[in-house]
Amino acid sequence: MQAIPNARVGFSKAMSSGWITVTKNAGEPIVARKVDDIKDTVRDHLQLILAKSPDEVTDEQKQEYKKRKLLQEVVTKSFLLGKGKNFATSVEKPETELTQEMIASGSWKEKNFKPYNLDSLGISPERGHLHTLLKVRDQFRQIFLEMGFSEMPTNNFVESSFWNFDALFQPQQHPARDAHDTFFISEPKLSTKFPSDYLERVRRVHSEGGYGSQGYGYEWKIKEAQKNLLRTHTTAVSARMLYQLAQKEFHPAKYFSIDRVFRNETLDATHLAEFYQVEGLIVDHNLTLGDLIGTLYEFFKKLGISQLNFKPAYNPYTEPSMEIFCYHTGLHKWIEVGNSGVFRPEMLLPMGLPEDVNVIAWGLSLERPTMIKYGLNNIRDLVGPRVNIQMVHDNPICRLEK
């Protein structure tokens, strides 16, 4: 078997086809014929193919013969060519761009221009970018200005407890004045410059009442009022503005502000220690709760929101108070968008404002509508150093009404 080529293959194929047998008696193995007649299907198939009838051999068999290197499949491609529309005997390279020389010489008339690949993108223009949240702030500022509001000077983060709480008739034992809700300051620790007459009126209305109020009935301490803190709301500035207004001849006013406030609360995906508060207030004779509701409808209409629902709420310095809910058509549910109310007389009258003057006010955070609008889940993606700069690059123009 070693001498003749392909003998091994032949032997094993003959064995597997049952043509021969091998008996292993003592001594050498003996190969014997087993059948009288054989049908060599392989040879038949190959001859069929040779005879140009390949279809009579199945694909599986063809694969097997290819594996055994008995058969080889050769693919021949052929093309039929003919003259096309632009057939020419000389070849010209198409131009990519119109140049100044071509215009000057007029040579563009004789040239072929390569078509543009309109499916690719252009070159990104060189530019800078404004921050996502501040673009939203810019829009809110516009809305207030369109409604005739004046911007308050809120460039002071450090505030005294007096203006942040006491002047707003928020009692000194109120939980919001707790160290775990408010950032108190160790340096500079205290404020001492207050308008003394006004301070005395505030002390009295807290402890004893007056101006039609029972008061809170506790001992008001100046030490508490002197404590400095990082303001917890821009309403502290509103209080200062109202006090200023009361010192002159009264005229109606509309104020707004959009600036940072600070809360020492537990942080999570939607809460940070500092955030932007949007605040608006109207000061005039005989303003009503209906006026507040109407103003809120106009305000929110400019944000593209026309369905509002109002829920009674509680604020130490407003009464009545309302939580504002809007219907989010994308999320199919009512969500809280802000807080509002009429400032309490105990806050306004000690300032010296006329008795029939009411102040209607509302506030919301800037971050929340921005996160809803841009589909962000984590506030740190929007504010702070971890913001993704690519997101700032790609962020669209801010159209709040859409």
Partner 1 sequence: MPIIGVKRDLLFKSLGQEYIHFLFSSADDQFSDLCFEFGLELDEVTTEKQMITNEQGAEQSAGASEDIVYRIEIPANRYDLLCLEGLVLGLLVFQGKLSPPRYKAVTPEKGSVQKLIVTPATKLIRPYAVAAVLRNITFNQDSYKSFIDLQDKLHQNICRKRSLVAIGTHDLDTVVGPFTYDAKPPSDIKFQALNQDKEYTATELMDLYSTHAQLKQYLHIIKDSPVYPIIYDKNGVVLSMPPIINGNHSRITLNTRNVFIECTALDLTKAKIVLDTLICMFSQYCIDKYTAECCEVLLPDGTVTRYPELAYREEVVNIQKTNTYIGISEPADKIAKLLTKMCLKSEVANSEDQVIVEVPPSRHDVIHACDIYEDVAVSYGYNNIKKTIPKTATIGAQFPLNKLSDQLREQIAQAGFTEVLTFSLCSRDDIATKLGRNINDIPAVHISNPKTLEFQVARTTLVPGLLKTLAANKKMPLPMKLFEVSDVVIRDETAEVGARNERRGCALNCNRTPGFEIIHGLLDRLMQLLEIPRSSNKDMTGYYLQAVDDPAYFPQRCAEVVANGQVIGIMGVLHPDVIMKFELTHPVACLEINIEPFV
The enclosing H or E element of 103 equals helix 100-105
Residue 200 CB, shortest distance to partner 1, in Å, is 19
If one asks whether residue 304 binds partner 1 (CB under 8 A), the answer comes out as no
Helices 59-67, 41-50: inter-axial angle, 10-degree rounding? 100
Nearer residue to partner 1 within complex by CB, 5 or 125: 125
Query: Residue 232 in contact with residue 176, Cβ under 8 Å?
Result: yes
In the complex with partner 1, the residue whose CB is nearer, 61 or 395, is: 395
Q: 278 and 370 in contact (C-beta within 8 Å)?
A: no
- List 153, 244, 269, 301, residue binding partner 1 (CB under 8 A): 153
Residue 131 binding partner 1, by CB under 8 A: yes
Shortest distance (Å) from residue 120 CB to partner 1? 20
Q: Cα(196)–Cα(210) distance, rounded to whole angstroms?
A: 18
- Closest contact distance (angstroms) between CB of 128 and partner 1 is 4
Contact 327, 246 (CB under 8 A): no
- Do residues 298 and 368 make contact, with C-beta atoms less than 8 angstroms apart? no
Residue in 8, 111, 297, 301 binding partner 1, rule: CB under 8 A: 297
33-70 per-residue burial string, b: 16 or more CB within 10 A, e: under 16: eeeeeeeeeeeebeeebeeeeeeebeeeebeebeeeee
* Contact range with partner 1 by CB under 8 A, out of 19-27, 70-78, 108-116, 140-148: 140-148
Torsion sign over Cα 88, 89, 93, 99: negative
Kindly tell me which of 24 and 386 has the beta carbon lying closer to partner 1: 386
Query: Is the Cβ of residue 65 or residue 262 nearer to partner 1 in the bound state?
Result: 262
Cβ 261 vs Cβ 196: under 8 Å = no
For residue 132, the minimal CB distance to partner 1 (Å) is: 8
Q: How far is the CB of 125 from partner 1 (least distance, A)?
A: 10
Size of the residue set binding partner 1 (CB under 8 A): 101
Q: Quick check: 293 binds partner 1 (CB under 8 A)? A: yes
**From candidates 12, 63, 99, 173, binder to partner 1 by CB under 8 A:** 173
Asked if residue 313 binds partner 1 (CB under 8 A), the reply is yes
Least distance (Å) between residue 117 CB and partner 1:
24
When asked if residue 300 is in the footprint of partner 1 (CB under 8 A), the reply is no
Looking at residues 68 to 107 of the shown chain, list those that interact with partner 1 (rule: CB under 8 A). Answer: none
Between 10 and 215, whose beta carbon lies closer to partner 1? Answer: 215
Rounded to the nearest whole angstrom, what is the least distance from the CB of residue 76 to partner 1 in the complex?
A: 51
Q: Rounded CA gap, 307 and 325, in Å?
A: 8
Q: Which is nearer to partner 1, 45 or 318 (CB)?
A: 318
Closer by beta carbon to partner 1, 345 or else 369? 345
Residues in the chain: 402
Q: Which of 65, 170, 191, 370 binds partner 1 (CB under 8 A)?
A: 191
Burial class (CB in 10 A: 0-12, 13-18, 19+), 326: buried
Does 197 participate in binding partner 1 (rule CB under 8 A)?
Answer: no
Nearer to partner 1, 264 or 270 (CB): 264
- DSSP code string of 347-390: HHGGGT--TTEEEEEEEEESHHHHHHHHT-S-GGGTSSTTS-HH
Closest CB to partner 1 among 90 and 186?
Answer: 186
What's the number of CA atoms in the CB half-sphere (13 Å) around residue 172?
Answer: 19
The reply on whether position 346 binds partner 1 by CB under 8 A is yes
Helix (H) or strand (E) holding 2: none
Using CB under 8 A as the binding rule, the residues of this chain from 222 to 281 that contact partner 1 are 228, 230, 252-254, 260, 262, 264, 272-274
Which one of 385, 396, 397, 402 is in contact with partner 1 (CB under 8 A)? 385
Q: Which two tokens stand for residue 56?
A: 């009579």
Is 134 an interacting residue with respect to partner 1 (CB under 8 A)? yes
Question: Which tokens sit at 248?
Answer: 């002159």
